[in-house]
Structure 1
């Protein structure tokens, strides 16, 4: 065997192993961090959080909560907010639901939560099991700084 054949074989094997590690066919491994809800001032509220994914690609498809029967996910593009059907949670990446961007919208609140309370919600995904999150209610103007 010449050196060129060995080199090509080694590169093919290495590339195959690297692509296997990044495969979107692997199971999602999701964790939620940084969740918060600014204290609502009316009958609507917004929720923000980060879904980190150490596995394969998934999609956030819906959110449910006892706070409202009308919980939707919204995206903001070019300063225009619109309802979305789902959001990708990329493999090895994160979905960042943040002020001024994509977020969770609660309308027709059954009650108005106060600062210091928590709101329970459940995130539903295309592949992964649902994740229950207790979201702390912060002051109305709360906006964490990006690191």
Structure 2
């Protein structure tokens, strides 16, 4: 059983890895941060297909949040002013915009600084409910 949340990201993606390093240094979310390639996805209650599609926040109770909701949860877990930003990301219409911006970045991360061909993701949603 997990005792703290987990933030699961794509460890093969340079952009994702850089983003996580920024979060570790400046945001300091209270969680375990693990690349999906080294995570026990079955134990976390998710799939490789979903982990390839978006960052995931998995609670100790097994609830899985993806994309901008995962980012919001990570921010909410941090200290300082970060939880205020996390809370804003959960409120409509900001949450709607955050989802759109997250998808835009995720679908183009191979074109962003630090991105490589390994960062490219398929444009389709995984069959698992998001």
Q: Which has the higher strand share?
A: 1
TM-score (norm 1): 0.24
TM-score (norm 2): 0.26
Q: Which has the higher helix share?
A: 2
